[in-house]
Copies of this chain bind each other. A is one copy, B any other.
Amino acid sequence: MGSDMFQQQLTDAATRIEARLMAALAECADQPVTHAMRYAVSGGKRLRGFLVIEGAALYGIAPEQSVHAAAAIEALHAYSLVHDDLPCMDDDDLRRGQPTVHVKWDDGTAVLVGDALQTLAFDLLARPEAHPDAGVRIDLVASLARASGIEGMVLGQARDIAAETAGRVLTLDEITELQANKTGALIRWSAEAGARLGQADIAPLSAYATALGLAFQIADDILDVEGDAEKTGKRVQKDAEAGKATFVSLLGLDGAKARARALVQEAEAALSPFGAQADALRQAARFVIARET
């Protein structure tokens, strides 16, 4: 599969996921908070949703079916961004090239928007259209709760804040573990969701996702150094300014790039049982370290 075809697939998935999210929000009351929710879930690469849809395809599940779980993870990811951007958290005023929710509306609206987007994620997974089997739906809910809560994403965020507050520079092992929770857990859930929808063993996709999640974060750290605020749509060189340990500060720029490439090979190797069927996921792994945003 060529890179152009992959880009087309990524765009198609993004369009489908956005339509699902907008349909869910169209049912809601006409309030500023609803408008702000629509704004918060607009745009973005939809990489996590793409992983859900392509992972599910390996088990013969059509995108019309997997789009609900894909929309759920994008709602959850959007909640985490809206709250992360708050002045009392990372204090960012630019996201996907647009003013962040608390800048365009206000802090209180941003808190509510994040809260309601988290709820929407579980709502979308719990609805019968997500999967006809209640056992599969509850498996998706339970695993997403673990991935995103105090044993997953929030734990990573908490450790990040704790290190910053203490003014302590993390070691490579510590930052690897922190990122495995902070960004890795949702990426892992996304790639594993297809196997859950297919009621299959999650192990092969899990190995792919673990390598992919870490490669993704290393690429983020590289982008923070080499990236262009205009292309990334967010503030860059934040970590260096804050004196934070990153994969780049710990491994050097070349070392970080080499590690990311090795992880992508590892991710691709984990897909070997699926043959050519998994080409889109292979391309996704390469995309993760080649992206400019």
User: Which positions in A face B, CB cutoff 8 Å?
Assistant: 25, 27-29, 31-34, 37, 79, 83, 86, 88-89, 106-109, 111-112, 114-116, 118-120, 122-123, 125-127, 134-135, 137-138, 141-142, 145-146, 148-151, 154-155, 157-159, 161-162
Contact = CB atoms under 8 A, between A and B. Distances in A.
Given A28-B150, A31-B159, A88 B106 contact: yes
A174 to B, nearest CB: 13
Given A27-B151, A123-B149, A111 B137 contact: no
* Number of copies of chain A assembled together: 2
Nearest to A106: B88
A93 to B, nearest CB: 15
A32 B151 contact: no
B116 A88 contact: no
A111 B111 contact: yes
Contact of A162 (B25, B31, B119, B157): B31
B149 A120 contact: yes
A145 B119 contact: yes
B145 A108 contact: no
Contacts of A141: 122, 125-126, 138, 141
Given A31-B158, A34-B158, 6 more contacts: A29-B158, A34-B150, A79-B115, A112-B157, A112-B158, A112-B161
B33 A115 contact: no
A88 B111 contact: yes
Given A33-B150, A150-B34, A159-B31, A142 B115 contact: no
Contacts of A112: 83, 154, 157-158, 161
B142 A83 contact: no
A33 B161 CA distance: 10
24 contacts: A28-B150, A29-B155, A33-B154, A34-B150, A83-B115, A88-B108, A89-B108, A108-B161, A109-B158, A116-B150, A118-B118, A118-B119, A119-B145, A119-B148, A119-B149, A119-B154, A120-B149, A123-B146, A126-B142, A126-B145, A134-B135, A134-B137, A134-B138, A141-B141
